[in-house]
Structure 1
């Protein structure tokens, strides 16, 4: 049985990346960003191996996910007749722990009810009401961010361990440049928008979970 891979994807180009206006809350993708995401669909080499996709709840990440992986995600995440989605496709989890780390307006998410109106096919039931507040578990405090990254790495390992389809144990994570560095413990990594890198996952002797670039 092949070892599972974890694919970290940086979201595609959003409005604030073009107009440099970081005061816009939770901006959406540009048309160019949507095309960047669709290009992922054509280039991503391990579509048949993916059983689970995590995405940040920020709009640009959700939109990237839906445009990039219609050939991976299950049919029920898309409108009937759209041609997107696959039968018995990958599960999609909206994951607040992989949101961006800063408290700039562009990195503050929308409330759950608004997201449900924008993306009615997605399941936001596990999204806490306080997820955009940048307080508590989602604080911008460095210790809280480190705890959030560790918490998610452990949950990622648990999800992989519980996958039943041995041929589809890869995981995609659509996230942000800043939080990606915290997740990897690597402050030098810098992916371009809509770029991805693949990693192996292992548990260390002290009980931590780490991602190692392949």
Structure 2
């Protein structure tokens, strides 16, 4: 079993999506723009000869914009892992924080019917994943609990190197523990590791610490939380 302090987690914010550019947070499950697809292609070029060669697991939020970013940007990694029998893990816990339409995912049957997402395993999507209630609520305590769940889940995985594609606010909660407003650019990749091994982590928070920036292909487009406070 690899030690948590030896793990490398490559957190990636999705590329530019329609709500980023239009500041229209009523767009349901906002998809990538054409520029976002180009940014995802640049993400591919920036990572194909390094982390896509070595990562052992690929994980994505189940919203359309991270899924598309992952499909375009990490296509070599996906192809290699699927050839090894390791499917992409589509994780509903990585969904964006707010309860706005742009941050609310689509039902499983809608995603399964989309040709772009053909071959992905949506079995983790339970009927309540779009509810924005309970575990998925947009309250600070619920978001902090969900971020802790994600950190613990990543720490418990047996893989040493894991690529995660998610959202700006979600990544702030996961890496900082709260909505820090720390800038995350579209199609930005940052490498993290864990501060402590599980046996040394008395509070079970599974805190992370940054290692380095890996790629940054887009601008620091605001998240829906930032828009709400402007």
Normalised-by-shorter TM-score class: 0.7 to 0.9
Contact 1:72 1:89 in 2 (8 A): no
* Aligned partner (choices 38, 42, 48) of residue 39 of structure 1: 42
Structure 1 alignment gaps of length 5 or more: 76-84, 164-168
Deviation at 1:136, TM superposition (A): 0.8
Deviation at 1:90, TM superposition (A): 5.5
- 1:207 maps to what in 2? 204
CA distance in 2, matches of 1:171, 1:89: 16
* Aligned partner (choices 142, 147, 159) of residue 144 of structure 1: 142
* Aligned partner (choices 118, 131, 154) of residue 120 of structure 1: 118
- 1:11 maps to what in 2? 14
* Aligned partner (choices 59, 64, 73) of residue 54 of structure 1: 59
SS at match of 1:74: helix
SS at match of 1:32: helix
Deviation at 1:88, TM superposition (A): 2.3
Deviation at 1:205, TM superposition (A): 3.5
- 2:186 maps to what in 1? 193
Change (3 A) 1:49 1:90: farther
SS at match of 2:170: helix
Normalised by the length of structure 1, the TM-score is 0.86
CA distance in 1, matches of 2:152, 2:52: 24
CA distance in 2, matches of 1:6, 1:91: 18
CA distance in 1, matches of 2:23, 2:207: 34
Contact 1:198 1:213 in 2 (8 A): yes
Deviation at 1:207, TM superposition (A): 2.6
Structure 1 segment 63-82 matched on structure 2, within 5 A: 63-74=68-79
CA distance in 2, matches of 1:10, 1:129: 25
Number of matched pairs: 198
Matched, 1:130 2:133: no
More helix by share: 2
The more displaced of 182-191 and 192-201 is 182-191
Contact 2:96 2:166 in 1 (8 A): yes
Contact 2:87 2:120 in 1 (8 A): no
Compute the RMSD of aligned alpha carbons.
1.9
- 2:172 maps to what in 1? 181
Normalised by the length of structure 2, the TM-score is 0.80
Change (3 A) 1:113 1:10: same
Contact 2:15 2:65 in 1 (8 A): yes
Structure 1 runs of 4+ aligned residues shifted over 4 Å read: none
Deviation at 1:9, TM superposition (A): 0.4
